[in-house]
A and B are shown apart, each in its own frame.
Chain A
Amino acid sequence: MPSGRATTRPPAGTAAFSARGVTKVYRMGEVEVRALDGVDLDLFAGEFVVLLGPSGSGKSTLLNILGGLDVPTSGTVRYRDHDLSRLDDRALTRFRREHVGFVFQFYNLVPSLTARENVALVTDISADPMPADEALSLVGLGERMDSFPAQLSGGEQQRVAIARAVAKRPDVLLCDEPTGALDVKTGKVVLRAIARANEQLGTTAVVITHNAAIAAIADRVVHLSGGRVARVETNTSRMSTDDLSW
């Protein structure tokens, strides 16, 4: 079982996640789909990782397993000293609650709550959150805190989603195509918010994207293909989000 909330972050450079032989098989009647097929991967504390790969290569499946939304069919996923592949629903929920921040392509904000309240939704149930206002300022939305999602643009909504994810000072920030629905300019603002959380809070960040250009801002780039890790690149120097263009 996971311990209580970690008061100390794993020192940079130690493995936060380690996946070994992770396989996920979807069975639909006669047909078997191997979404993941023996993934071995270590993610280190504090690093910024970009997951690249063609559609259907298993990126989302891997991210969901790392985030405790799903369990592998076989293989193990360790987050520090917890074996995620062995946890039940309640323990997985607790893991997500204490350690993980999620950002999705479609924002998934609660439409009946304002920006501030969407963030408060998470800070109310975390042990050591930052104030909601501070999290929103971090993503540059200090002015729009009392707006409802319907009153915000897509990019603004996505930034609220990021604020919601980082406000509890998560150990990992998992983002599935956070810029997928946004234009270049807005996409950059969103990426900057993620990069800032990664730099200033030391949060491990994993970002799925279809946009190879974005890989330049990562410490490492993991290429998935057909449910396997095809290769892993390490960037010797990270590009600033401001210099990105696509």
Chain B
Amino acid sequence: MRAIDRKLLRDARRLKSQLVAIALVMACGVGAFLMAVSASRSLEATQAAYYERAAFAHVFAQCKRAPLSLADRVREVPGVAAVDPRVVVSVNLDLPGMFEPAAGLIVSIPEREEPVLNRLHLRRGRLPQPGRPGEVVVSEAFAEAHGMNPGFTFGAVINGRLERLSVVGVALSPEFVYSLRPGGFVPDDRRYGVMWMRRDQLAPSFDLDGAFNNLAVAVSPGASEAAIIDAIDRLTAPYGGESAYGRSEQVSHRYVTDELSQLRNMVRVTPPVFLAVAAMLINIVISRLVRTQREQIALLRAFGYTQADVGRHFLALVAMVGALGALLGIVLGATMGSLLTGLYVRFFRFPELRYHMEVWVALLAVGVTIGAACLGAGWSVLRAMRLAPADAMRPEAPAVYRPSIVERLGLDRTLWPSAKMVLRHLQRHKVRTAVSMLGVAATVAILTLGSFVNDAIDTLIDLEFHTAQRQDVLVTFNEPRSTRALHELRAAPGVIAAEPFRVVPARLWNGPRLRREALQGVPADAELRRVVDHRFREVPIPPDGLVISAGLAELLDARAGDELFVETLEGQRPTLRVRVHRIVENYVGTGAYIDMDALNRAMGQGPTLSGAALTVDAAAAARLYNELKHTPGVATVTIKRAALESFEQTLAENLLTMRLFNLAFACVIAVGVVYNTARILYAERAHELATLRVLGFYRTEIAGIFLGELAVVTLVALPVGMAAGYALCGAATWAMQTETHRIPFVVAGRTLAFAGTVVLLVATTTAMFVRQDLDRLNLIEVLKART
């Protein structure tokens, strides 16, 4: 080994704890990057493979009742590869041990064979036997939530009659990787399940013998999906067809895809912050190293080492840190990536979710990390290379101190000399002070970012569940009903108030732009289900005209005052021209709201409702639920409290995991920054502080000076970090928004306080750790040395 390399290793060993701290910060950045990238790529690959294997359909269409022969005509449409005409119905379920109603979706499979599209992947048991009544296969999520196994039986209200279903198998379907009940935010597998039955057992109960009400269509490679959708719409229109749609509007597919894009977006915010902090730390450590080694560098140059040798020497040290950081980061990223992928398994039901990290991704991370490290060190290394041997032999000119800004402002009279020492020293090392402050601020910002999602969700819950939806129970009917149904509901046990609503599926056109969207008919004096904007303000619905959500406005490129062309997809299917009266800012989903009476008039109907919102006397709830379970025509019963609970529980678990990651990451940054700052400070100040000890200062007093400097750095950084965190949250809400969902940009005071407190604690602990060295200062040693 060459002597210069030996020096490198000795330097590295001497600085090891500082360098390791920096490598850890890098590892967090690399880890976060690899976690997000590898998890999203694993999920993508899993999704693609599963869709392929299970022949997931490309286009879906719903209609009232179409003869099976229509399916053959669809099959003839150019570009259509396969068609599966199905019966898909929603039913109310009567599950053992649940007094609340649960809903189910039953999808038919062919009488004898397996489905050609959306093939089932059996986890347990078998498919229903042809001709055997009451046999169903249930989705795995639903089965798990109820501990169902083959042999389990439960009741379902099928077309008004309570029938017993018996589970023969548990399966997965590409259509329901993510299963969400209509109107839900998160899966609620206890109250909503998907099941499959042979069509001959299902169709007669719904008067769909020899007919279908749902189409799944596979498109040949290269064929135009839009053209096929158009063709299908034309064919199904006479049979009550609702507009066909592609995968992009299929609930399960869209959620999985949205989740993947959010995961990819995560990469844009956190990892760069970590790498930047690590680069800054490298900068302060290497610039100090170069400063203290001036004479050694000069000596090397005098002996004939070239500039390049000197540059290589220091860059090698930096590359070592980068490599260590990248290596740890890969391990961390792989661990967290597979953990995260595991988390997804609970929501995304794939037959198998295989986690893998591609080599090129890992190599990319290594390259970027070493690059960032070298960038951080660049300037100092250049300075080392440029040192003229003769210059460097002389010790660096003594540091020039000046009265600090505080003093020049005339505020110094009250300052003790020790306070002046702190301020002047900070000012003398402006760059390093700034870097340290930025580092600490970054920690505060990252912590804020990690916690604000809670605030956002609280706001969402408050808005959705407490301000907009004030009902206890939401009931929807299979078919639009007359006001008699409303009176019946009002007379049901425990019902205090019932408010009707009307929903009509439609296609909205603004010029060439099209969007499938249900028109929501809101009664004039709505009290229970109201339209509320993102500022919690109720939005009145005009007697004529539409109120549409901002997301929908964007999709349609519509502005207030524009006239939309509305093709309704129910009953007589009248087409309407409606003016957009107002655009309402909201967070979740898209919506088009219209006065209920106006909607009914436009549909050529008298007072009609699609469902009702109820307030319920809790004492009588059980009786009400029981009655609703057995009421024909009731499609779904949604209990708000239950929905809220499942929402909060699901999110709480996920958020907790993410917050713990974030907390750990932020602590690593805080330790890395404070530790390096403290170490360098210590190296620079040891001599001075020892002198003070000789002059009769107590340990606590010099510790005060030492810690004072760190305290100033930290305390100034806190508000800066909070402001940066606020901005970062803004960036994150922007990065995480999808076409239809946005996250409220709310940062609560307690979130900022939490971030500040954590950083203060970590900084204090780290500083106290370094402070211990102050107690071991060798006074006599110090006095022998020239400064």
Assess the A150–B698 pair: CB atoms within 8 A.
no
Assess the A69–B779 pair: CB atoms within 8 A.
yes
Distance in Å: Cβ of B519 to nearest Cβ of chain A: 73
Asked if A90 is at the interface (CB within 8 A of a chain B CB), the reply is: yes
Asked if B417 is at the interface (CB within 8 A of a chain A CB), the reply is: yes
- Cβ contacts under 8 Å, B400 to chain A: 148, 150
Would you give 17 A-B contacts (Cβ < 8 Å), ordered by A? A67-B694, A70-B779, A90-B699, A93-B696, A97-B697, A106-B787, A108-B783, A110-B688, A111-B398, A111-B401, A111-B688, A113-B420, A122-B695, A125-B697, A150-B399, A150-B400, A176-B783
Q: Determine which of A90, A108, A176 lies in contact with B691 in the assembled complex, contact meaning CB atoms within 8 Å.
A: A108
Q: Given A117-B417, A150-B401, are A110 and B696 neighbors across the interface (CB < 8 Å)?
A: no
In the assembly, what is the distance between CA of A150 and CA of B326, in Å? 44
Q: Determine which of B416, B421, B698, B780 lies in contact with A93 in the assembled complex, contact meaning CB atoms within 8 Å.
A: B698
Distance in Å: Cβ of B277 to nearest Cβ of chain A: 28
- Cβ contacts under 8 Å, B640 to chain A: none
Fill in one digit per residue for A49-91: 1 if any B CB lies within 8 Å of its CB, else 0.
0000000000010001001011000000000000000000110
Fill in one digit per residue for B378-403: 1 if any A CB lies within 8 Å of its CB, else 0.
00000000000000000000111110
Assess the A93–B401 pair: CB atoms within 8 A.
no
Closest A residue to B427 by CB, please name it. Answer: A112
Asked if B692 is at the interface (CB within 8 A of a chain A CB), the reply is: yes
- Cβ contacts under 8 Å, B787 to chain A: 106, 111
Q: Given A106-B787, A150-B400, are A113 and B698 neighbors across the interface (CB < 8 Å)?
A: no
Assess the B783–A149 pair: CB atoms within 8 A.
no
Assess the B783–A124 pair: CB atoms within 8 A.
no
- Cβ contacts under 8 Å, B418 to chain A: 121
Interface size of B by CB at 8 A reads 31
- Cβ contacts under 8 Å, A109 to chain B: 691
Asked if A220 is at the interface (CB within 8 A of a chain B CB), the reply is: no
- Cβ contacts under 8 Å, A118 to chain B: 417
Fill in one digit per residue for A124-150: 1 if any B CB lies within 8 Å of its CB, else 0.
110000000000000000000000111
Closest A residue to B687 by CB, please name it. Answer: A108
Distance in Å: Cβ of A58 to nearest Cβ of chain B: 13
In the assembly, what is the distance between CA of A117 and CA of B402, in Å? 13
Nearest 3 pairs between A and B by C-beta?
Answer: A97-B696, A150-B398, A112-B424
Asked if A102 is at the interface (CB within 8 A of a chain B CB), the reply is: yes
Closest B residue to A121 by CB, please name it. Answer: B417
- Cβ contacts under 8 Å, A176 to chain B: 783
Fill in one digit per residue for B447-479: 1 if any A CB lies within 8 Å of its CB, else 0.
000000000000000000000000000000000
Distance in Å: Cβ of B292 to nearest Cβ of chain A: 16
- Cβ contacts under 8 Å, B701 to chain A: 125
- Cβ contacts under 8 Å, A37 to chain B: none
- Greatest chain A CB density within 10 A among B416, B417, B691 is at B417
Asked if A171 is at the interface (CB within 8 A of a chain B CB), the reply is: no
In the assembly, what is the distance between CA of A90 and CA of B428, in Å? 32
Closest A residue to B402 by CB, please name it. Answer: A148
Closest B residue to A67 by CB, please name it. Answer: B694
Distance in Å: Cβ of A108 to nearest Cβ of chain B: 4
Asked if A47 is at the interface (CB within 8 A of a chain B CB), the reply is: no
Distance in Å: Cβ of B411 to nearest Cβ of chain A: 16
Q: Determine which of A106, A120, A148 lies in contact with B786 in the assembled complex, contact meaning CB atoms within 8 Å.
A: A106
Assess the B417–A124 pair: CB atoms within 8 A.
yes
In the assembly, what is the distance between CA of A150 and CA of B395, in Å? 13
Asked if A96 is at the interface (CB within 8 A of a chain B CB), the reply is: yes
Fill in one digit per residue for A178-201: 1 if any B CB lies within 8 Å of its CB, else 0.
000000000000000000000000
Distance in Å: Cβ of A150 to nearest Cβ of chain B: 4
Q: Determine which of B398, B401, B425, B695 lies in contact with A121 in the assembled complex, contact meaning CB atoms within 8 Å.
A: B695
Asked if B623 is at the interface (CB within 8 A of a chain A CB), the reply is: no
Distance in Å: Cβ of A133 to nearest Cβ of chain B: 15
Asked if A164 is at the interface (CB within 8 A of a chain B CB), the reply is: yes
Assess the B691–A110 pair: CB atoms within 8 A.
yes
Distance in Å: Cβ of A99 to nearest Cβ of chain B: 9
Q: Given A120-B417, A121-B418, A150-B399, are A96 and B696 neighbors across the interface (CB < 8 Å)?
A: yes
Assess the B698–A90 pair: CB atoms within 8 A.
yes
B772-787 contacts to A (CB < 8 Å): 779-780, 783, 785-787
- Cβ contacts under 8 Å, A96 to chain B: 694-696
A145-164 contacts to B (CB < 8 Å): 148-150, 164
In the assembly, what is the distance between CA of A118 and CA of B417, in Å? 8
Q: Determine which of B692, B693, B780 lies in contact with A64 in the assembled complex, contact meaning CB atoms within 8 Å.
A: B780
Q: Determine which of A106, A113, A149 lies in contact with B417 in the assembled complex, contact meaning CB atoms within 8 Å.
A: A113
Assess the A104–B421 pair: CB atoms within 8 A.
no
In the assembly, what is the distance between CA of A106 and CA of B783, in Å? 7
- Cβ contacts under 8 Å, A164 to chain B: 695
- Cβ contacts under 8 Å, B424 to chain A: 112-113
Distance in Å: Cβ of B106 to nearest Cβ of chain A: 80
Assess the A148–B401 pair: CB atoms within 8 A.
yes
Assess the B698–A110 pair: CB atoms within 8 A.
no
Asked if A206 is at the interface (CB within 8 A of a chain B CB), the reply is: no
Q: Determine which of A94, A106, A112 lies in contact with B428 in the assembled complex, contact meaning CB atoms within 8 Å.
A: A112
- Cβ contacts under 8 Å, A120 to chain B: 417
Fill in one digit per residue for B536-561: 1 if any A CB lies within 8 Å of its CB, else 0.
00000000000000000000000000
- Cβ contacts under 8 Å, B693 to chain A: 93
Fill in one digit per residue for A184-228: 1 if any B CB lies within 8 Å of its CB, else 0.
000000000000000000000000000000000000000000000
In the assembly, what is the distance between CA of A30 and CA of B398, in Å? 40
Distance in Å: Cβ of B680 to nearest Cβ of chain A: 16
Q: Given A117-B420, A150-B401, are A108 and B428 neighbors across the interface (CB < 8 Å)?
A: no
In the assembly, what is the distance between CA of A112 and CA of B687, in Å? 13
- Cβ contacts under 8 Å, B780 to chain A: 60, 64, 69-70
